[in-house]
Amino acid sequence: MTNKYTIEEKKQGQALLTNHKTSNSKKVYLESYGCQMNLNDSEIVASILSDVGYNTTFKMEEADLVLVNTCSIREKAEQTIRKRLEKYNAIKRINPKMKIGVLGCMAERLKEKFLEEEQMVDMVVGPDAYRDLPNLITEIEDGREAVNVLLSTEETYADIAPVRLNSNGVSAFVSITRGCDNICTFCVVPKTRGRERSRDPKSILKEIKDLQDRNFKEITLLGQNVDSYLWYGGGLKIDLKKATKEAQENAINFAMLMDLCATEFPKMRIRFSTSNPQDMKLDVIHTMAKHKNICDYIHLPVQSGSTAVLERMNRKHTREEYVELIDNIRKILPECSISHDMIAGFCGETEEEHQETLSLMEYVKYGFGFMFAYSDRPGTPAHNTMQDDIPEETKKRRLTEIIQLQQKHGLFRMEQFLGKTVEVLIEGNSKKSEDYWKGRNSQNAMVVFPKTENEKIGDLVLVKINECTSATLIGEKEKG
Ligand code: SAH
Ligand code: F3S
């Protein structure tokens, strides 16, 4: 999932608001950290709470209930959230009636410990237990503490229509799987989000139809590992080869799901995130090539360029297999942009292995990247069986080298658009000036251009690119 990991660490999180109900209801202040899945989950939470009379508010001070949807992916993310909890507590001292709830991955990871150790929160709710929120809220309103951190093998929130809290009215997230069955040794997600489940395609199509009716123009299909999407009637993922003939014949995989979505909604731009290289098959790339409305962009985290490190990470592919996948993407989708996630300084990473990461980057020349220093997470296989033995300064230096190389490649990729005309979906005003629009092209590059009188948010327009930085394309709208 793109753009997310920086959110939790750089910003103060995102205050989410809506005013879709104006009765004399109670007020909830909802703050979200972490990945796009968390943002989407907060939208589901807002929907569940709205049914029991809670309005969302921007102002924490006037809230009856403060909820923070948390992230555990790196230690720093958790530290940021602990700081926020201190802030909520300061407000609670002035307004003791205010209740505080922790949602999401940190709730799942720390469970009751939150209530025991922190003395800061009234309610702890894991990612699969949001339907229980109305009951849990009754408990805390009666002065009791409330915890539900049960993980599910079924829950997909398929029938809940998310309240589009943090949307620009143009693009929206649509969750298609929950949980993850891969056990990458560095990653806490399988522990906090449970087993992988796929959502009924009918409910996915219904959600997209609803978005289209409300004038949305772009959707991102979301999952920890979208390429392993498999619908055969519900429940945990199965090995299709061992399933009954009937299940095999009726099953819908990710390529088929994308084909369904793209065919049924030809005007909707379709994106997806995240692809694990080990699960991405050629049928997905061919489906992308078949449909113009599926964007030419793949987020393909690799984490390391060294086969030995990939093995220690329990990623189920080698460097060579990854390169083969990249070559196939380039062959079938020559215009496609590719981004990555990279981890610097994983357990036992030698200088040579780090160099292999840099040389892989040099080969692929990614358009974007999300890059992190390895952070040891309690409960993960790496934490239990390996030494977090790379000194912090070495991790930092390697990370800086990775980031600098990525900046060079980002600029290189942006320069390829100079003089070309690209299709841009207008998302809103550019950050720097109200006289400019911003939007993204199919390859997910940010484009800004001066407004003229004839376009509005949500329009697809052709923009000729004249200049660029390593992060933005600058152009002007084509006339006619
Ligand atoms: N499949 C998920 C991955 C979630 S984690 C997805 O949808 O993107 C996102 C990224 O965080 C990973 O790809 C990895 O690069 C990084 N990450 C995960 N655990 C980490 C850790 N312990 N230390 C540093 N980075 C980590
Ligand atoms: Fe984490 Fe690997 Fe799944 S990075 S979310 S365990 S694919």
Q: What is the 3-state secondary structure (H, E, C) of the chain?
A: CCCCHHHHHHCCCEEECCCCCCCCCEEEEEEECCCHHHHHHHHHHHHHHHHCCEEECCCHHHCCEEEEEECCCCHHHHHHHHHHHHHHHHHHHHCCCCEEEEEEHHHHHHCCHHHHHHCCCCEEECCCCHHHHHHHHHHHHCCCCEEECCCCCCCCCCCCCCCCCCCCCCEEEEECEECCCCCCCCCCHHHHHCCCEECCHHHHHHHHHHHHHCCCCEEEEECCCHHHCEECCCCECCCHHHCCHHHHHHCEEHHHHHHHHHHHCCCCEEEEECCCCCCCCHHHHHHHHHCCCECCEEECCCECCCHHHHHHCCCCCCHHHHHHHHHHHHHHCCCCEEEEEEEECCCCCCHHHHHHHHHHHHHHCCCEEEEEECCCCCCCHHHHHCCCCCCHHHHHHHHHHHHHHHHHHHHHHHHCCCCCEEEEEEEEECCCCCCEEEEECCCCCEEEEECCCCCCCCCEEEEEEEEECCCEEEEEECCC
Task: Please state which CATH number belongs to domain 421-477.
Answer: 2.40.50.140
Ligand 2 centroid to 154 CA: how many Å?
Answer: 19
Ligand 1 centroid to 135 CA: how many Å?
Answer: 33
Phi/psi at 328 (nearest 5 deg)?
-65, -40
| CA–CA distance, 480 with 477 (Å, rounded to integer) | 9
Contact (CB, 8 A) for 437 and 426: yes
- pLDDT score for 18: 40
Q: Which residues approach ligand 2 with their CB closer than 6 A? A: 180, 182, 184, 187, 189-190, 224-225, 276
| CA–CA distance, 480 with 475 (Å, rounded to integer) | 16
| CA–CA distance, 274 with 176 (Å, rounded to integer) | 11
Task: Tokens 């990653």: give the residue.
Answer: 187
- The CA-to-CA distance between both ends of the chain, in Å, stands at 36
Ligand 1 in reach of 377 Cβ (< 6 A) = yes
- Taken in order 362, 364, 366, 367, the sign of the CA dihedral is positive
- pLDDT score for 118: 57
Ligand 2 centroid to 195 CA: how many Å?
Answer: 11
List the domain boundaries for the chain.
7-148, 170-295, 421-477
Cross-strand partners of 439: 426, 447
Mutate to test the pocket of ligand 1, among 72, 228, 372 (most ligand atoms within 8 A of CB): 372
Ligand 1 in reach of 204 Cβ (< 6 A) = no
Token output for 225 = 């590992």
Amino acid letter for position 216: F
349: how many CB neighbours lie within 10 A of its CB?
24
| CA–CA distance, 47 with 362 (Å, rounded to integer) | 45
Q: Whose CA is nearest to atom 1 of ligand 1?
A: 224
- Nearest ligand 2 atom to the CA of 303 is 4
Contact (CB, 8 A) for 262 and 293: yes
Ligand 1 in reach of 197 Cβ (< 6 A) = no
The CATH architecture one would assign to domain 170-295 is 2-Layer Sandwich (3.30)
Q: Walk along the chain (480 residues) in steps of 10 and give the mean pLDDT of each run.
A: 38 39 74 94 95 91 94 95 91 90 96 77 96 96 93 94 88 96 97 95 97 96 96 82 81 97 98 96 98 98 98 98 98 98 98 98 97 97 98 98 97 98 97 95 98 94 96 91
Mutate to test the pocket of ligand 2, among 180, 312, 341, 375 (most ligand atoms within 8 A of CB): 180
Mutate to test the pocket of ligand 2, among 72, 184, 377 (most ligand atoms within 8 A of CB): 184
- pLDDT score for 119: 60
Ligand 1 centroid to 187 CA: how many Å?
Answer: 6
CATH 3.40.50.12160, domain 7-148, yes or no: yes
- pLDDT score for 193: 96
Ligand 2 centroid to 126 CA: how many Å?
Answer: 18
Pairing of strands 171-175, 65-70: unpaired
| CA–CA distance, 326 with 79 (Å, rounded to integer) | 36
Residue in 234, 103, 239, 259 with CA at minimum distance from that of residue 177: 234
Token output for 261 = 């979505």
Residue in 285, 171, 156, 170 with CA at minimum distance from that of residue 223: 156
Q: Whose CA is nearest to atom 7 of ligand 2?
A: 182
